[in-house]
Amino acid sequence: MSSAATSGLPAPAGSGPLRTILHCDLNNFYASVECLYRPELRDRPVAVCGQKEKRHGIVLAKNMPAKRCGIRTGEAVWQARAKCPDLVTVPPDFPRYLEFSRMVREIYAEYTDRIEPYGIDECWLDLSDRADLRRNAPAFADRLRERVREELGVTLSIGVSWNKVFAKLGSDMKKPDATTVIRPEDFRETVWPLPVDELLFVGRSTGARLRNIGVGTIGRLARLQPDFIRGFLGKWGEYLWMFANGFDASPVERAGAEVPVKGVGNSMTTPRDVVGEEDARMVFRILSESVAERLRRHGFRGRTVQVWLRDVRLASFERQRKLPRCTCLSGEILAAALALYRENWDPALPLRSVGVRVTDLVPADTPVQLDLFDVEVGREREERLERTLDSIRSRFGPDAVQRALLLSDRAFHAHPAEEHVIFPGSRCGAS
């Protein structure tokens, strides 16, 4: 294999001071919190499931007995019940999960301010500055697990390593309530035999592409020529190669560090299938208004509109387009979203979930290049109108002013901007 130095990649781990990074993963988080408050359910198979009436009827989390029955996160409730007729299903209580997540992070914060959340139930902790703790990091990880278990009643799996990727991999290796250590001297024996999809950021499609060329394990990926993987998967392939070799040097962000907002989006699983352009227009209208309102509320405009569509067979895809001007106007977002829909979707095919997102954000007060033909005057007027509607809705409620279009089918009545709390599986609540 060509050396890292000659390929322009960072020096291998071990050549500089090694960091001590923990990845803490709350086991079966939602289900554990539910069972904590209902001890009578503890030994029964339990799944936290979305509301069937809203067509969110999938398994969001399950406890260990349910896992043993073969129930998987993301499958439909009826599929889960077919595997386990005694399954107890409970609705999610997101405010309570957020509260638990906050309390767990408060415990972490007693040891370090380098805490980087990864979703609601996972965090990286960097103990490199804590000489006292890093001296015996696995023992500290055990004490931390014990403390969280005793004080909050939920269990953690902790991975201890010198980089974030291996720490994350470690926390997935032994569950529940366990510590796994991956050291520079033994990662070739522990990490390399694992399936390549277990590496962070290797998704289903990348995993399939790698397996197609005979790269089935992390070790096979690590031993590829960096030039080859760069040619095969592009820049991203090079990152994966580095991760597989333990060269990940990405820092653990400090607690409370500002995460730059990259996009504002909303999605909804519709109460009935969306068939035809008229239906689609209604859903896109709801989502575009919500996204535009949130852009204005947070002081942004965006240049790229993305749509995300999922059909009734749960196959999904995403398309995006650039706008001529940065916008926070619902009409312009809607027009772009509808154009993407028309170009990429057969309206006869029913849709189940739809999302709209605006990215390439700039601050709302960024100077605008004026148009010779005075388009900007009309846009300013439109924005004043939309801001007036925002203020009416904030004073008198979201139903105070509505589009007549939305009265034609009350089933689609929704306020995604208000309901935007947290979506399971979304990695950073504020997308």
Partner 1 sequence: MRKVYLTLRCEFDPEGVVRPVEFLWEDGRRFPVDRVLDVRRAVSLKTGGRGIRYTVRVLDREVCLYRDGDRWYLEAP
Quick check: 422 binds partner 1 (CB under 8 A)?
no
The only residue of 153, 251, 263, 271 in contact with partner 1, by rule CB under 8 A: 153
Burial 246-283 (b: 16+ CB within 10 A, else e): bbbeeebeebeeeeeeebbbbbbbbeeebeeeebbbbb
Task: Classify residue 53 as left (phi > 0), alpha (psi -120 to 50) or beta.
Answer: alpha
Note if 258 is an active site residue: no
Number of residues that bind partner 1 (CB under 8 A): 10
Tokens linked to 359: 């990215």
Owner of token pair 């002081």: 299
The only residue of 86, 129, 151, 318 in contact with partner 1, by rule CB under 8 A: 151
Quick check: 264 binds partner 1 (CB under 8 A)?
no
DSSP 3-state of 287: helix
The only residue of 104, 152, 224, 356 in contact with partner 1, by rule CB under 8 A: 152
d(CA 179, CA 158): 5
Contact 47, 59 (CB under 8 A): yes
The only residue of 11, 15, 38, 385 in contact with partner 1, by rule CB under 8 A: 38
Is cis: bond before 17, omega within 30 of 0?
no
Please count the other Cβ atoms lying within 10 Å of the Cβ belonging to residue 427.
11
Please count the other Cβ atoms lying within 10 Å of the Cβ belonging to residue 54.
12
Q: Output the smallest distance, CB 339 to partner 1, in A.
A: 51
Residue 370, C-beta contacts closer than 8 angstroms, at least 6 positions apart: 376
Contact 287, 306 (CB under 8 A): no
Nearer to partner 1, 150 or 374 (CB): 150
**Rounded to 5 degrees, what angle do the CA atoms 29, 30, 31 make?**
95
Nearer to partner 1, 37 or 317 (CB): 37
Quick check: 39 binds partner 1 (CB under 8 A)?
yes
d(CA 358, CA 380): 19
| Contact flags string 275-314 toward partner 1, x per CB under 8 A | ----------------------------------------
Contact 43, 30 (CB under 8 A): no
For residue 263, list its beta bridge partners.
359
Quick check: 174 binds partner 1 (CB under 8 A)?
no
Nearer to partner 1, 17 or 39 (CB): 39
Q: Output the smallest distance, CB 152 to partner 1, in A.
A: 6
Write out the E strands in 115-186: 115-117, 122-126, 156-161, 178-181
Q: Output the smallest distance, CB 41 to partner 1, in A.
A: 9
The only residue of 2, 3, 11, 37 in contact with partner 1, by rule CB under 8 A: 37
Q: Output the smallest distance, CB 153 to partner 1, in A.
A: 3
Nearer to partner 1, 151 or 399 (CB): 151
Nearer to partner 1, 10 or 153 (CB): 153
Quick check: 36 binds partner 1 (CB under 8 A)?
yes
Catalytic residue among 40, 75, 106, 122: 122
| Contact flags string 64-103 toward partner 1, x per CB under 8 A | ---------------------------------------x
Catalytic residues: 122
Residues that bind partner 1 (CB under 8 A): 36-39, 103, 149-153
